[in-house]
Structure 1
Amino acid sequence: MNKHKRFKTSVRLLTGSVAGLTLAAAALTYTATADATGAGGAYGSSADAPGGTRTVRYDLGDEAWHLPQTGEPVELSGVVHYPADLGEGRHPLIVMLHGWHESCADRQAEAVRTAAEDSGDDAAYAAASARLFAWPCAKGTPALPSEDGYDYLARALAAEGFVVVSAGANGINASSVSGDENAAARADLINRHLRMWQKLSTSGKGELAGKFTDPVTGAARSVGFVHHLDLGKVGVMGHSRAGAGVTWQAADSHRGQWPRGVKVKAVAALAPAYNVMTENMSDYTITRTPFAVVRGTCDGQVGGEAFAFAADAAKGNRSGFHRFAVRGANHNYFNTQWSPRSGQVAASDDATPVEGHPGQCTDHEGSTPTTHLTEPQQRHVAITYLGAFFHRYLDTDTTQDPVLTGARHPVAAITEVDVTASTP
């Protein structure tokens, strides 16, 4: 079953300086380890990862925050990857958020749901789904750690000098909010985390003080983040429905909701699931912040409307708009916890196979068949292009421009990436 409800709607067309700039992708080399490309370590965090990075967690509780819209409970938790040596300067902060996926790793419920789907038992299917999308999870049932799914990307960015927080959003996934309210809720959650980090960075106080733990042992860890974060250089990245959330959070009309002292300088929507039936595009319009959107040609959850919607949202943007169409990428491989190699509950390959052509894939819209990327290959592409984007706009590193405009081809040995760019 497809996770994202699709609506019939006219396709929004790329306009202005964005139209017609379809180009091939460009190059960047990172000091990421094999784990960072998705080869293994993302399934079990290490506090002392290779590549000069460290990892800690924080968890303020499954019901530490409540949705402003409905009062439903949401966790305040995150996994943090950062340079092992924070040095004397300040580091840009990147906040990542996952999208809609099962919230509880209930294997029995998964088996019941699969059987119910096969037999057409709608009642049993709904009951099992309710267990998988509960929050908090039933006693003895672990939460599904979707926030860990971007460890490969966070470690690569941390190795390049960024502090990266991937926040949990299981409470939102289990909530009743949908459509624009869902995007707004995810934006609120990002701002909630940013507020905690702003307090910690400036004073060493607040809710995060003394809350960091080793991701493996659970032992308390002390990290000197105070005065080492540059909250004037914040990046946000959202996957799937959180792609809509970060677009909402960075929209011109919502900048006033950012915590005091926080300035979002780069927003990336990864395979974003937008509410294409929204009646108010101003809630998503970004003209003052650099904006990137990524989608795979074998995405089984999100269609081409992701690009069209993002282009409409970026109409009039003079800060930089970048569109990356990744040949052979699906939806789930961007998150290791949602991908088959993890062995996690509800993990799957969402690409549409091409009958009679093993190893080829397409999407539900019938895109041109192409070679299906492996999990490590797809994540390598994400590291390359998202890394270039954040370096360019958080570090003002103009050497990344050829990557972002398609003048060079960094992943040509793996796949093609079609680039559309409007640069400042």
Structure 2
Amino acid sequence: MATMPKIGKAAVVVAAALVLTTPATATSSPARHDVTRVEYSLGDRAFQVPGFHREPGGPVADLELTAVVHAPRRLVGKRPLVLLAHGYWQPCQDGTWTWPCPRGDAFPSYRGYDYLGEELARQGFVVVSVSANGVNGGEMGQPADMARAKLMSKHLEMWRDLNDGKGPLAGELRGFRGHVDLTNVGTLGHSRGGRGAVWQASDNHAADLPAGVRIRAVLPLAPADYYAPDPEAPENLDYRITEIPFAVLTGSCDGAVNGGSYVDNAKGRNRFPIHDVTAVNANHDFFNTAWTYDDDSTCPDRALTPQQQRSVATTYIPAFFQQYLNNRRSPVVDRGRPGIDVVTHQPIG
């Protein structure tokens, strides 16, 4: 997509489509909705995070403000918002690890969760999946986690302003005005996006959220492990969540991560439930349809197919957000089901 000026000087580029779904019966719970899909972009150089550079010691990196939205076609009242963030993948389709892409061929990692966004929207959520190619084209480590968190918060800030009829999204997405509850937000990050989502929602950084925005539940999906030299190292505080419920969902055949560090970092201190979730025989990349051709399974003889793995995601993840954003309890969240093993750590005290 063509580069555009920074926020406040550019119109939003929007593409919209209707995703047709089959309505469920009236007795189903939760209610099912037809779904609309909208994309927006303020350009590839629309945002910067002070302290995040193209490379250590280099210039501050330019980041895009681009996302795809799935939502109920007919919005009534205020809906919870679920924000999705992808992880570390090549920013450009030609394999170039830079940003913006010299050929304008940005890799659509943020579209790899359309199947999940559609299912969440069918269940009544407004779902925003954000592009983080600019982060992937910059420096790594904790600076990248901080930048992902700031990028996610910037999108939430724009949606808060949109809800009030203000900001860069207000003109083209005015149909959402007054229909999104920014005090009832869930976040999900995949791989290093999960690390960024935990950074954003950690006790240490809760005060950095935009005014009027409240995250109520977090699900790091196959999150990349963070570095801390020992369990008492101060680095753990940047990834410790004790004040809101969260679930860590990882595949048993994931050759890249194990996710256990986030549970160990918080359990015994948590004031809300923590769910340690294992998708049996799932790998790392099949949760993202744009990455599906890369099979990294450590047990290929019994690995799930991409469709089976996505079925795990659309079973557990909507139930998790229903439980903590809509107060619809589900046994699968706390206890799992065949193919989804769950260990729940109850709150202390």
TM-score (norm 1): 0.70
* Distance apart, 1:46 and its partner CA: 7.6
Q: Which residue of 2 aligns with 1:198?
A: 160
Report the 3-state secondary structure (helix = DSSP H, G, I; strand = E; otherwise coil) of the residue aligned with 1:332. coil
One-letter amino acid of the counterpart of residue 350, structure 1: D
Report the 3-state secondary structure (helix = DSSP H, G, I; strand = E; otherwise coil) of the residue aligned with 1:64. coil
User: Residue 297 of structure 2: which of 351, 356, 359 is its match?
Assistant: 351
- Could you tell me whether the CA contact under 8 Å between 2:248 and 2:262 is conserved in 1? no
Q: 1:223 to 1:200 in 2, by over 3 A?
A: closer
Structure 2 CA distance for aligned equivalents of residues 274 and 301 of structure 1: 9
Q: Which residue of 2 aligns with 1:93?
A: 81
Structure 1 CA distance for aligned equivalents of residues 266 and 148 of structure 2: 18
Is the counterpart of residue 418 in structure 1 residue 341 in structure 2? Answer: yes
Matched residues, percent identical?
43
Q: Could you say which structure has the higher helix fraction?
A: 1
* Distance apart, 1:267 and its partner CA: 0.4
Q: Root-mean-square deviation (CA), in Å?
A: 1.6
Q: Which residue of 1 aligns with 2:101?
A: 137
Is the counterpart of residue 184 in structure 1 residue 184 in structure 2? Answer: no
Q: Which residue of 1 aligns with 2:251?
A: 296
Q: How many residues align?
A: 310
Q: Which residue of 1 aligns with 2:303?
A: 372
Q: 1:66 to 1:144 in 2, by over 3 A?
A: same
Q: How does 1:5-404 map to 2 (within 5 A)?
A: 47-51=17-21, 52-69=34-51, 70=53, 71-87=60-76, 89-106=77-94, 132-139=96-103, 141-176=104-139, 178-202=140-164, 204-211=165-172, 222-277=173-228, 279=233, 280-302=235-257, 304=258, 306-340=259-293, 348-353=294-299, 360=301, 371-398=302-329, 400=330, 402-404=331-333
One-letter amino acid of the counterpart of residue 36, structure 2: R
Q: Which residue of 2 aligns with 1:363?
A: none
Structure 2 CA distance for aligned equivalents of residues 242 and 310 of structure 1: 17
Report the 3-state secondary structure (helix = DSSP H, G, I; strand = E; otherwise coil) of the residue aligned with 2:143. helix
One-letter amino acid of the counterpart of residue 313, structure 1: A
Q: 1:388 to 1:338 in 2, by over 3 A?
A: same
Report the 3-state secondary structure (helix = DSSP H, G, I; strand = E; otherwise coil) of the residue aligned with 1:266. strand
Structure 1 CA distance for aligned equivalents of residues 68 and 286 of structure 2: 19
* Distance apart, 1:183 and its partner CA: 1.2
- Could you tell me whether the CA contact under 8 Å between 1:285 and 1:314 is conserved in 2? no
One-letter amino acid of the counterpart of residue 154, structure 2: R
Structure 1 CA distance for aligned equivalents of residues 108 and 171 of structure 2: 22
* Distance apart, 1:313 and its partner CA: 3.3
Structure 1 CA distance for aligned equivalents of residues 112 and 175 of structure 2: 25
Structure 2 CA distance for aligned equivalents of residues 236 and 68 of structure 1: 23
The higher-RCO structure (CA 8 Å, 6+ apart) is 1
* Distance apart, 1:299 and its partner CA: 1.1
Structure 2 CA distance for aligned equivalents of residues 310 and 183 of structure 1: 18
- Could you tell me whether the CA contact under 8 Å between 1:281 and 1:313 is conserved in 2? no
Determine which structure has more spread, i.e. the larger CA radius of gyration: 1
* Distance apart, 1:314 and its partner CA: 4.3
* Distance apart, 1:76 and its partner CA: 0.4
Structure 2 CA distance for aligned equivalents of residues 313 and 73 of structure 1: 33
Structure 1 residue runs of 5 or longer lacking an equivalent are: 1-44, 110-131, 212-221, 341-347, 354-358, 361-370
- Could you tell me whether the CA contact under 8 Å between 1:252 and 1:286 is conserved in 2? yes
* Distance apart, 1:182 and its partner CA: 1.5
Structure 2 CA distance for aligned equivalents of residues 274 and 201 of structure 1: 35
One-letter amino acid of the counterpart of residue 86, structure 2: H
TM-score (norm 2): 0.85
* Distance apart, 1:417 and its partner CA: 2.0
Structure 1 CA distance for aligned equivalents of residues 47 and 207 of structure 2: 21
- Could you tell me whether the CA contact under 8 Å between 2:93 and 2:105 is conserved in 1? yes
* Distance apart, 1:310 and its partner CA: 3.0
Structure 1 CA distance for aligned equivalents of residues 204 and 345 of structure 2: 22
- Could you tell me whether the CA contact under 8 Å between 2:225 and 2:261 is conserved in 1? no
